Structure 1
Amino acid sequence: MNQNKVIGLTGSIATGKSQVSNYLKNKDIKVIDADLIARDVANYKIVKNKIKREFGEDLYKNDKLDRKKLAEIIFSRKIHRQKLNSIMHTEIYKKIKKESDSADGLVFIDIPLLFENEDLNKKYGLDFDEIWLVYVDRETQIKRLMNRDGISREYAEEKINSQISVEEKRKKSDVIIDNSGTLEETFAQVEEKLKNKEMC
């Protein structure tokens, strides 16, 4: 196994984690993106068939998963989220673990629901040297989600409440990247954290 330093990168919906993840990728830092892996896994034949059986054939258009429609279903009921997770998580985590073990040096694992899935991290042997959280306060989070998705405040709060609160995640994280200001300010924090740890 290669020697590497593994950092979990997480956030909550509409906190801007993807912006930080993309910034790291543009610096040629290795980022394993759980969302991209999930999209790939959703098109595995065995996974596709299970999703169709559980949620209906119409979730796939032109043989591609309609992620927006699926999101509406799983946010509406916890049991639907649990069923989807049981279908996909094994393949997702196996692929993340394989990529992590083959990486050399600094690697970030971008996992939106890192804290929500702590049991799976342990089950599949994902060990993090540090956890970085991309943070904004709840009110900013609500407003950004409403603007981003064109949804009502009520629906934005429902989506946010389906996850562990960002304040609770903050208590559990090693490094906080505050994304409340400009992107330039956010990226400056990232550079400082990388520099402090002699990762650049």
Structure 2
Amino acid sequence: MLKIGLTGGIGSGKSTVANLFKAKGISLIDADQIAKDVVKKGQPTLQKIAIKFGPTILKSNGELDRDAMRRIVFQDPEALDWLNNCLHPIIRQEINNQVALATSDYVILDIPLLFENKLQHLVDRILVVDVPVETQLQRVINRDNNNEELVMAIIDKQVSRDFRLEHADDIVDNSGSQDQLMAQVDKLHQEYKDLARHV
């Protein structure tokens, strides 16, 4: 099964591109959703995290308090390493399970932090959705109602635009019109179908 890793900076329009492939009947595996599912209330992973970081990372209803967790790992690199080492093997396993169940010609693995979490080995090709940093900034400010400083801090935590472009097998430029975007996805869809025949 040909595995395409879809990534891009915050606000680049990864979800839009992912949904265009999905509309063509391509199986879409959402790494963010898997990451949320493995720490749902009642999951053994969440119990493990609560034992490590204490009950303050749980909401009163027993669910993970993402903001509290974010505050801890944002300030403590060791805590972030521990969390990643705990979550990544479980997430990888679930991605592999979903790939095995996929029935389309190829699969799209939507992995926003593909490079940051060094998950390139999970995919056969890397598709980067690209827009200029100014566009990212404006889109996220408008979408999430965040201030410029916070959005820039998130952008700076991710790998640089240059790094992504340098390591991409394929690039979708999402700074134009919806029609231009769809034309690029159509072209890639055909290419991936051809490649999938030889996998």
The bucket for the TM-score relative to the shorter chain is 0.7 to 0.9
Q: CA deviation at 1:83?
A: 2.9
Maintained 8 Å contact 1:75/1:162: no
Asked if the contact 1:8–1:111 (Cα under 8 Å) also holds between the matched residues in 2, the reply is yes
Query: After the TM superposition, which residues 107-186 of structure 1 pair with which residues of structure 2 at under 5 Å, given as runs?
Result: 107-118=107-118, 120-122=119-121, 126=122, 128-186=123-181
Residues 174 and 55 (structure 1), Cα distance of their counterparts in 2 relative to 1, 3 Å cut: same
What's the % identity of the aligned pairs? 39
Runs of 4+ in structure 1 off by over 6 angstroms are none
User: Structure 1 residues 79, 184: closer, same or farther in 2, change over 3 A?
Assistant: farther
Distance (whole Å) between structure 2 residues aligned to residue 178 and residue 35 of structure 1: 22
Query: Against the structure 1 CA distance between its residues 81 and 144, is the aligned structure 2 distance closer, same or farther, given a 3 Å change threshold?
Result: farther
Could you say if the C-alpha distance between residues 198 and 87 of structure 1 is closer, same or farther in structure 2, counting changes exceeding 3 Å? Answer: closer
The answer (yes or no) to whether the contact 1:75–1:159 under 8 Å persists in 2 is no
Distance of aligned partners of 1:173 and 1:154 in 2 relative to their CA distance in 1, 3 Å threshold: same
1:1-200 → structure 2 map (5 Å cutoff): 4-43=1-40, 45-61=43-59, 62-104=61-103, 105-118=105-118, 120-122=119-121, 126=122, 128-198=123-193
Tell me how large the CA RMSD over aligned residues is: 2.4
- 8 Å CA contact 2:26, 2:106 repeated in 1: yes
Partners of 1:86 and 1:134 in 2: CA distance: 27
Describe the SS at the equivalent of 1:107. Answer: strand
Q: 1:133-186: per-residue Cα shift (whole Å, max 9, x none)? A: 111111111222222222222111111111111221111001101111233322
The Cα shift of 1:80 comes to 3.9
In the alignment, the residues of structure 1 paired with residue 178 and residue 54 of structure 2 have an alpha-carbon distance, to the nearest angstrom, of 40
C-alpha separation in 2, matches of 1:26 and 1:77: 41
Q: TM-score, normalised by structure 1?
A: 0.83
Q: 1:30 to 1:134 in 2, by over 3 A?
A: same
Task: Structure 2 unaligned segments of length 5 or more: list them.
Answer: 195-199
Mapped to 2, the partners of 1:141 and 1:196 lie a distance apart of 28
Give the TM-score taking structure 2 as reference length.
0.83
Structure 1 unaligned residues grouped into runs of 5+: none
